[in-house]
Structure 1
Amino acid sequence: MNGDNLIVLATLVAYKLVLVGVGVWASRRNRTEGDFFLASQGLGAWVAGLSYAASTSSAWVLLGFSGFVYANGLSALWMVPGIWGGYVAVWLFFGRRLRAETAERGHVTPTDFLTAGLADRSRALIGILASVFILFCFIFYIAAQFGAAAVAFETQFGLGVTESVLIGAAIVLLYSLLGGFWAVSVTDMLQGALMAVVAVALPVTALIAAGGFGGIADALSATAPEGYLDITGGHAGFVLIGFVLGVWGVGVNAMGQPQLISRLMAVKDEGARMRGFTIAIVWAVAVFTGMTILGLAGRAIVGGAADGEALFYTLADQLLPPVLAGLVIAAVLSAVMSTVDSILLSASAAVSHDMRLSRRFAGKE
């Protein structure tokens, strides 16, 4: 391992020790099931807003969306209104009732909210179905996130996929199991802040390297394929409508993901909910704008032959010194962990809380 890689590794180790320290701190705050799975509805605006943003916009934003822009050009921006619309729907339309009913009825999970007021048999059936769906879907979601972490370790350190996945899993499990929802939310807040810093700093660096907006426009006009700089992507009619609706649909999933809904259930009051929304949407605007610039600047710098999903790493290696490159890798791992820790906690809540209550309502306990 060369000196640059040692600097990157030291940066990562220091950062991960901070996350484990948060887990140890949070473990002292857990006394009840409500503490462990919902932080006893004690999240403030910054923790709720940034942890929500980091959880909903994981590695796919830093790697996938920047690569999507790199590959498709301006037509990729049709995805953004759907994403931001998901933030608005969850925080402003669903958030008030989620928070209020959780405080009034003592809900612990989104399934509690869905089944409140139903007959026992219906509660049991819905609870079991919801738990099964959560566990089934999250298997693939977790696998995708750990795959992104493996790419980071492989690219930077030459580690194998198995070793990379095991390292990431060990860290996430340690602080998640120690501190529960408190640890997950606070570490996600820190990880969301790091993601935002990198999602601004790296695109600005790439923009300067590409010669500013004028340099990007000149390079893409000369080398990009037809339709790259067209907001329609060269599509028309029903094909364009289908494309737009398809990419808008990415934002719809935010309205049904339990790890995101839990943030709204856990926010401590209405003032914190509204401030949390402001923080989350500002974060989303900054990060998606940065990844758009990165995708276009990357196309101007490296051309069209590069792997879009590796563009983030490629530009970091080319444009940044080792310490900052370490922060970039840490940001990607943060994006992974901010999603994985949340969905692991939601999956454990589905098994230990929802299924247990469902069995009780079904008369099996």
Structure 2
Amino acid sequence: MSLETPMMITFIGYLLTTLFIGYIAYKATTTLSDYILGGRQLGPAVTALSVGASDMSGWLLLGLPGAIYLSGVSEVWIGVGLVIGAILNWLLVAPRLRTFTEFANNSHTIPEFFENRFADNAHTLRFVSALTILVFFTFYVSSGLVGGAILFEKVFALDYLTALIIGAVVIVSYTFLGGFLAVSWTDFFQGCLMLLALIILPIVTINELGGLEQTNQILLNTNPDYAQLFSDFSWLGFLSLMAWGLGYFGQPHILSRFMAIRSVNDIPMSRNIAMIWMILSLLGALALGLVGIAYYANAPLANPETVFIFLSKALLNPWVAGVIIAAILSAIMSTIDSQLLVCSSVIVEDFYKHIAKQKASEKQLVWISRFALLFIAVVAMTLALDPQSSILGLVSYAWAGFGSAFGPTVLLALYWQKYNRFGAMASIISGAVVVFIWPMLNEAFAGIFAIYEMIPGFLTAAVMGILVSRVTQHKDKQSEVVFNQLMQNHIANK
């Protein structure tokens, strides 16, 4: 792919903007709470777009349009599942998590919240959940770095290693400097850019094809099944796609935004902004995939996931194309920076401060967090040196893994007073184990278990948590006491 100077200038300008935001955030960050949660002072609009941008990643601009381009509108069901999951997450989890984490000894991370919610003085819950986050997110970040490197490689005609280093340096720099505020502010900027790209490009493509009616006719002439919502429909496939929404309840990088919002009273406005952004973005991605089918009807793309990139290059002014293609990097960066920050927070807050019992000043803790982030980034980059490495395949389990292990745990911790530390441990372990073994069972038994592992993993974790809590309720009375105290604070804080 050839590179034009205006596009390069625009693209580099975007990267410099993110670094500038990182510097501003650096000046506003003085305590560990600032670095990990922005001092719990995030406004509703920034929270909303930060949730959306850190959630959607490159899947929104590359994966989903590519799937639509390849198979048509029947692929949209995963988007429907995500919308349902997201709105339920805002309604069920966000308000209680915001107040529970504040009044549970001002918990800054999900592992710390689990420990405080269940009065786990042995630190077992904290250690297991922190280790789970650290392992999963390290591989997740590696995968994201591979995606960013491939983008640089395609756009700037660089070799893979150079592209990997450049992408990592940009992402790590502003996150290293500004922590949570830098990540959230850049996510807001990136979320706006992503939405703008998903609105502009389909409109430009439809205009180029001669209008909406002409575009639709080309699409139908290419393959009528592309417009069929229930093409190749099966109930197992439908349930598997819809089940992606269950993952929201357990994603640490999304839950941290709920913990950081300024007030519970800001959540309704933030929720509305987030859902409007999400629905418009998904509709834009759907439209992009469909217009891509029509535009490339006579010369199909070899890689469906490049439809966004090639349409931008083909139809837009180079200056505009630079901004639009920067939106792809935005999507990738907005997830990687959030995951890096969660890993850094876990290392310092959960391992260094509490499990290792190390003492340090607030300023020292902030700098330890920065270097912990740098360490995780180096490990992730090392894994990403080989983009074909089988170890990176573990990220396919990450969404289901977090959703199954932490989703039921978070929900039960927020809503059931009888849920105790033994039940929480059973939920985390059983949910993670089922997610790992389910694909193996499916392969061993010739597709009998052909359903997304999130469904059995989530259900198993919920059932195990309830059963074990019931059986061990006489051994743990303190968890119920803590829950009742947190509920009183939540009601009083509304």
Whether TM exceeds 0.5 here: the answer is yes
SS at match of 1:227: helix
Give, in whole Å, the separation in 1 of the partners of 2:113 and 2:275.
Answer: 25
Residues 207, 293 of structure 1: 8 Å contact kept: no
Identity of aligned residues (%): 32
Does residue 261 in structure 1 map to residue 270 in structure 2? no
8 Å CA contact 1:152–1:329 kept in 2: the answer is no
Which residue does the alignment assign to 1:326?
322
295-304 or 247-256: which moved more? 247-256
Q: CA deviation at 1:271?
A: 2.8
Provide the rounded CA distance (Å) in 2 between the counterparts of 1:229 and 1:199. 20
Contact between 1:53 and 1:192, CA under 8 Å: does it hold in 2? yes
Poorly superposed stretches of 4+, deviation over 4 Å: none
Q: Does 1:178 align with 2:177?
A: yes
Alignment partners' CA distance in 1, 2:190 and 2:202: 18
Which residue is equivalent to 2:206?
207
Task: Report SS of the residue matched to 1:62.
Answer: coil
What are the superposed Cα offsets for residues 304-358 of structure 1, whole Å, 9 maximum, x if unpaired? 7312110000111111010111011210111111111100000111111112355
Displacement, 1:199?
A: 1.1
2:117 counterpart residue number:
117
- Greater shift in the superposed pair: 155-164 or 319-328: 155-164
Name the CA shift for 1:278/1:150 in 2 (closer, same or farther; >3 Å).
Answer: same
SS at match of 2:225: coil
**AA in 2 matched with 1:62:** L
Paired AA for residue 305 in structure 1 = P
Residue equivalent to 1:88: 87
For residues 33-55 of structure 1, give each alpha carbon's deviation from its aligned partner in whole angstroms, at most 9, with x where no partner exists.
11110011100011101111100
Shift of 1:217: 2.4
Partners of 2:246 and 2:34 in 1: CA distance: 29
Q: Does 1:164 align with 2:163?
A: yes
Tell me, which stretches of 5 or more residues in structure 1 are unaligned? none
Instruction: Give the counterpart letter for 2:184 in structure 1.
Output: S
CA RMSD of aligned residues (A): 1.8
- Whether 1:107 aligns to 2:103 is no
- Code of the residue aligned with 2:286 in structure 1: it is T
Q: 1:230 aligns with which of 203, 228, 231?
A: 228
> Match of 1:268, as an amino acid?
R
- The residue correspondences of 1:341-360 to structure 2 (distance < 5 A) are 341-357=337-353, 359=355
1:196-345 aligned within 5 A: 196-224=195-223, 227-235=225-233, 240-303=234-297, 305-306=300-301, 307-345=303-341
Pick which of 7-16 and 318-327 moved more.
Answer: 7-16
Q: What one-letter code is carried by the residue in structure 1 that aligns with 2:73?
A: L
Hey, what does 1:50 align to over in structure 2? 49
- Return the alpha-carbon distance in structure 2 between the equivalents of residues 325 and 84 of structure 1: 29
Higher relative contact order (CA 8 A, sep 6+): 1
Deviations 1:200-243 (A, max 9, x none): 1111111222333322321122222x6332211133xxxx1111
CA shift, 1:152, in A, is 1.9
Equivalent pair of 2:152/2:167 in contact (CA under 8 Å): no
Distance 1:299 1:267 in 2: 41
CA deviations on 1:255-302 (whole Å, 9 max, x unpaired) are 211111000000011232111111111111111111111100100110
Letter in 2 for 1:234: D
Q: How far apart, CA to CA, are the structure 1 residues paired with 2:192 and 2:283?
A: 16
Task: Please state how far the C-alpha of 1:106 moved relative to its aligned partner.
Answer: 1.0
2:231 is aligned with what amino acid? G
**Counterpart-to-counterpart distance in 2, 1:305 and 1:11:** 29
After TM superposition, the score normalised by the length of structure 2 is 0.69
Contact 1:50 1:189 in 2 (8 A): yes
Name structure 2 gaps, 5 residues minimum.
358-494
Counterpart contact for 1:227–1:234, Cα < 8 Å: no
Q: 1:110 & 1:14 partners in 2: Cα distance? A: 36
The structural deviation recorded for 1:25 is 1.2
Q: Distance in 1 between matches of 2:212 and 2:145?
A: 35
Cα distance in 1 between the residues matched to 2:15 and 2:294: 34
* Corresponding position of 2:13: 14
Post-superposition CA distance 1:174-222 (Å, at most 9, x none): 1111111011111111111111111111111112223333223211222
Instruction: Output the amino acid matched with 2:115.
Output: T
Q: Is the 8 A contact 1:62 1:332 kept in 2?
A: yes
1:249 Cα deviation after fit = 2.5
The structure with the larger Rg is: 2
Q: C-alpha separation between the residues in 2 aligned to 1:247 and 1:31? A: 43
Cα distance in structure 2, aligned partners of 1:164 and 1:233:
39
Specify whether residues 86 and 326 from structure 1 end up closer, same or farther in structure 2 by C-alpha distance, changes over 3 A only: same
1:203 and 1:147 map into 2 onto residues whose CA distance is: 27
Task: State the Cα distance separating 1:114 from its structure 2 match.
Answer: 2.2
